[in-house]
C-alpha cells in the first residue's frame, strides 16, 4: 500500500503552478473553447475538481493564465528598458526583451495574443495592456521629439506607436511559428523597421500622396 503513492501530495502553491502550466499549454494548442477542463486536469496530472477548487471555473482559470503570462512579460520588458537611457537604446532593449520572452514562452504568447484577441470577455483585458504599451512607446517618441525642440499632435504619436506595437506583435507571431528562428535577430530586424521609420519621422520627414 505505502509502496509508491504514484502521485505525491503537494502543497497548494506548487499544484497551482502545475495547473497553470498545463492550462497555458492546452489553451495555446486548442484555443479557449476547444480546450476542455478534463484535458487540462489530465495534463496537469491531477483531477478536475482540484482545478475548480484552486483556480475556479474555466473563465477564471483563463484569466489567471493571462495574468501570469502578462505579468511575466511586463516584468521582462520593464526590467530591460530603464527609463534613464536614450530613446533608441530603450526601444532596442525593450524589443530584445520582448522577443526573448516570446521565444522562450511561445505557448504563453499564443494564449496572450492569439486566443485573447477574439474572445469578447477577455479582449478588454488585452486592450488595456496594449494601451499601456502604446502609451509608453508614444511617450518615448514624444521625449525624442521634445529633445529636438519639436512638437507633434498626440493622436499622431499614438497611432505611430500603435503601428509599431502591431508590427512587433506580428513578428512575434512569426517567431512563434518558426522554432528555428533566432529571437535576437528578429529583434534587430524589428528595430531596423521601427527606428529608421520612426526616426525619419522625428527628423521631420513626411511622405505625402503624390497627386489628386
Single out the residue of 11, 149, 179, 209 in contact with DNA (rule: CB under 7 A).
Answer: 11
**Nearer to its own copies among residue 46 and residue 186 (C-beta):** 186
Positions touching its own copies (CB under 8 A) are 29-34, 88-89, 92, 114-120, 123, 127, 156, 159-160, 162-171, 173-174, 177, 186, 188-201, 205-210
Where are the extended beta strands (E) located within the chain? Answer: none
Task: Tell me the closest approach of the beta carbon of residue 54 to DNA, in angstroms.
Answer: 8
Does 37 sit near DNA (CB under 7 A)?
yes
- Round to whole Å and give the CA distance between 17 and 13: 7
**Nearer to its own copies among residue 16 and residue 169 (C-beta):** 169
Where are the extended beta strands (E) located within 77-144? Answer: none
Single out the residue of 10, 78, 82, 193 in contact with DNA (rule: CB under 7 A).
Answer: 10
- Round to whole Å and give the CA distance between 92 and 197: 14
* H/E stretch holding 200: helix 183-202
Burial of 4 (0-12, 13-18, 19+ CB in 10 A): exposed
Among 47-55, 86-94, 99-107, 195-203, which window interacts with DNA (CB under 7 A)? 47-55
- Report which DSSP code applies to 32: T
42 binds, among its own copies, DNA, none (CB under 5 to 8 A by kind): none
77 binds, among its own copies, DNA, none (CB under 5 to 8 A by kind): none
- Is the sign of the CA dihedral 13, 14, 16, 17 positive or negative? positive
Task: Tell me the closest approach of the beta carbon of residue 182 to its own copies, in angstroms.
Answer: 11
Does 36 sit near DNA (CB under 7 A)?
yes
**Number of residues assigned to the chain:** 212
Task: Tell me the closest approach of the beta carbon of residue 170 to its own copies, in angstroms.
Answer: 2
Residue of 103, 51, 87 whose CA lies nearest to 202 = 87
Amino acid at each position: 500500500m505505502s509502496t509508491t503513492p504514484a502521485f505525491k501530495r503537494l502543497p497548494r502553491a506548487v499544484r497551482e503552478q502545475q495547473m497553470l502550466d498545463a492550462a497555458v499549454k492546452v489553451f495555446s494548442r486548442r484555443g479557449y473553447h476547444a480546450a476542455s477542463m478534463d484535458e487540462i486536469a489530465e495534463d496537469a496530472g491531477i483531477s478536475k475538481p482540484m482545478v475548480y477548487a484552486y483556480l475556479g471555473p474555466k473563465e477564471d482559470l483563463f484569466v489567471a493564465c493571462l495574468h501570469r503570462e502578462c505579468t511575466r512579460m511586463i516584468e521582462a520588458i520593464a526590467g530591460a528598458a530603464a527609463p534613464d537611457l536614450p530613446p533608441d537604446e530603450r526601444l532596442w532593449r525593450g524589443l530584445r526583451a520582448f522577443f526573448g520572452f516570446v521565444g522562450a514562452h511561445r505557448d504563453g504568447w499564443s494564449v496572450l495574443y492569439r486566443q485573447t484577441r477574439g474572445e469578447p470577455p477577455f479582449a478588454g483585458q488585452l486592450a488595456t495592456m496594449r494601451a499601456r504599451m502604446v502609451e509608453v512607446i508614444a511617450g518615448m517618441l514624444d521625449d525624442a521629439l521634445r529633445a529636438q525642440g519639436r512638437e507633434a499632435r498626440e493622436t499622431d504619436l499614438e497611432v505611430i506607436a500603435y503601428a509599431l506595437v502591431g508590427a512587433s506583435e506580428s513578428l512575434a507571431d512569426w517567431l512563434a511559428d518558426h522554432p528555428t528562428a533566432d529571437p535576437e535577430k528578429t529583434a534587430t530586424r524589428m528595430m531596423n523597421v521601427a527606428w529608421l521609420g520612426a526616426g525619419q519621422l522625428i527628423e521631420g520627414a513626411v511622405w505625402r500622396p503624390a497627386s489628386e
